[in-house]
Amino acid sequence: MTTPTTLLILGASGDLTSRLLLPAIAQLLKRQPDRALVLHGAGSDDWSDERWQEAVRTAFATVDATDQISRIAGTSYVKADVTDRDALAALIEGVEGSLVIYFALPPAVAEMACEKLVDIPLPEGTVLALEKPFGSDEKSAAALNALVTRIVPENQVFRVDHFLGRSTILNIMGVRFANRLVEPVWSADHVQSVLVRYDESLALENRARYYDKAGALVDMIQSHLLQVLAILAMEQPADLDEIDLRDAMAAALRATRILGDDPVASTRRARYTSGTSDDRPVPSYSDEEGVDPARGTETLAEITCEVDTARWAGVPFTLRSGKALGERCAEIVVTFRPVRHIPGGLTGMPTDGGVLRFSLGPDRIELELNVNGGDDPFALRRDVLSTGLGKGTLLAYTEVLSEILDGDVALSVRGDAAEQCWRIIQPALDAWRSGAVPMQEYPAGSTGPEKWATSQR
């Protein structure tokens, strides 16, 4: 058995804990028979230990791991206001061995709890796990970084981005760096455009309290999709560790900006109106419970960026994400430039030189190639080599928790990278707030506004 780590979840009666963290803890225990874990929850709801244990049992059952419950037999729940210094100190007092504090709290509350933590003694090596959104703009993210690093050093801060726990995203690195077929052509000399797309068919699903203040740009692009861009665009790190990998990703983000520094020409936003999605009637976003239509929150966002390096100059990177779309589509599409010349005799010069596509859920890699053959052996057509990547057995949060408990921050978002992600989207936020980019509409269940052919502005 390893030395026990105490995992203290603040906000333990909330949605993230019950839906994502507890099932991940269950899966982790199942996968790691030697893992010794002490689990405590705290939150403002007046839960008894029994109510908490019921929540734990329910979550463990969702991943078929009820047999693991005995391994966290001492788990308990404390009603506490974690913005109260003494209440917070009491939760930490007496913890033996290493400690992980997981902030499953609304962002403003997490920040207040951090302010109180500054002068509370913590066990050596304490790790802080913070959820998105990290700050609300570049300045507030910088202030939060300064605050957090007064509590523990940067290499004990885990800013969670569960996309970085998804094997398909990490797979990009293997495909990029380990294939002679791919590695030499991973640059503007050969790549025409890159699209990172995360379209959901789900609508708001009662998440107005959070989502109406965030919108698609902050909820998905500022965090997850820019991390994907960083992995696609970074230079090859010497090692995939917390220094080299995160240096490479941060450098790529530092070089990234909205194309032409022109948010009016290079960004689009839209909001769903009533329709049918996932076979269910969906009301207009403005009529969803808890939404304040005056806020003008977008449910579909698209920004096109450029990465200002020798490798990527001139290549548009488009990031797009939305809700209540007809088809769930999560993919990374790398389109190669057309070849310079094809021999006379071959007909149908293609508009591109092939496409490499990573699809998420189900996870697949596809290579679209221009081929000839069939009835007319000299006519070019398109064919797809496609392979499933197998259904990953681990939840993204299981990967994330495993890294947090091991104190391995390589796949957590470093403070400066979090600030860069806000810097990149800020011109879009400003232009959207000022009304310079019109809000378009699309019926729920459609492919988006009529004018938006996926890759044409």
Active-site amino acid positions: 224
Residue 228 Cβ, how far from ligand NDP at the closest point, in Å? 16
Which member of 14, 23, 41, 322 binds ligand NDP (CB under 6 A)? 14
**Shortest separation between residue 81's beta carbon and ligand NDP, angstroms:** 5
For ligand NDP, which is the closer residue by CB, 106 or 392? 106
User: Contacting ligand NDP (CB under 6 A), which of 6, 7, 11, 95?
Assistant: 11
| Centroid of chain to Cα 173 | 17
| Closer CB to ligand NDP, 41 or 448, in the complex | 41
Q: Which is nearer to ligand NDP, 81 or 416 (CB)?
A: 81
Residue 278: both structure tokens together: 């996932």
**Residue 372 sits in the site that holds ligand NDP (CB under 6 A):** no
Q: Which alpha helices (DSSP H) does 360-414 contain, by range?
A: 396-406
Residue 201 CA to its chain's centroid (Å)? 17
Q: Which is nearer to ligand NDP, 42 or 325 (CB)?
A: 42
Establish if 424 lies at the interface with ligand NDP (CB under 6 A).
Answer: no
**Total residues contacting ligand NDP (rule CB under 6 A)?**
19
Computed on alpha carbons and rounded to an integer, the radius of gyration of the chain in Å comes to 23
Task: List the beta bridge partners of residue 269.
Answer: 301, 439
Q: Where are the alpha helices (DSSP H) in 243-316?
A: 244-254, 263-266
Q: Where are the beta strands (DSSP E) in 94-207?
A: 98-103, 127-130, 157-159, 191-199
For ligand NDP, the closer CB: 288 or 306? 288
Closest approach, Cβ 103 to ligand NDP, in A, equals: 7
188 near ligand NDP (CB under 6 A): no
Q: Is 24 in the site for ligand NDP (CB under 6 A)?
A: no
Cβ nearer to ligand NDP, comparing 365 with 413: 413
Beta bridge partners of 101: 8, 128
CB of 157 to ligand NDP, least distance (A): 15
Amino acid at 189: D
CB atoms closer than 10 angstroms to residue 274: 15
One of 9, 72, 105, 216 touching ligand NDP (CB under 6 A):
105
Which is closer to ligand NDP, CB of 135 or CB of 263? 135
- Select from 40, 71, 132, 271 the one that contacts ligand NDP (CB under 6 A): 132
Which of these, 32, 63, 53, 116, lies nearest to 395 by C-alpha position?
A: 63
- Smallest distance from the beta carbon of 366 to ligand NDP, in angstroms? 28
Q: How many CB atoms lie within 10 A of CB 183?
A: 13
Sign of the alpha-carbon torsion through 137, 142, 147, 152: positive
Task: Choose among 328, 330, 331: nearest CA to 358.
Answer: 331
Integer Cα distance of 162 and 399 in angstroms: 8
- Could you give the angle at the alpha carbon of 79 between the alpha carbons of 145 and 90, nearest 5°? 65
Q: Which two tokens stand for residue 244?
A: 């080299």
Start-to-end C-alpha separation, the chain: 57
The rounded distance, in Å, linking the Cα atoms of 79 and 87 is 9
Q: Please report whether residue 16 would count as binding ligand NDP according to CB under 6 A.
A: yes
| 416 interacts with ligand NDP by CB under 6 A | no
Residue nearest to ligand NDP as judged by C-beta position: 14
Asked whether position 131 contacts ligand NDP by CB under 6 A, the answer is yes
Q: Does 227 bind ligand NDP (CB under 6 A)?
A: no
| Distance, CA of 402 to CA of 25 (rounded, Å) | 9
Q: Minimum CB separation from ligand NDP for residue 355, in Å? A: 31
Using the rule CB under 6 A, is 82 a contact of ligand NDP?
A: yes
For position 13 contacting ligand NDP by CB under 6 A, the verdict is: yes
- Minimum Å gap between C-beta 122 and ligand NDP is 18
List residues near ligand NDP by CB under 6 A: 11, 13-16, 43-45, 81-83, 104-107, 109, 131-132, 210
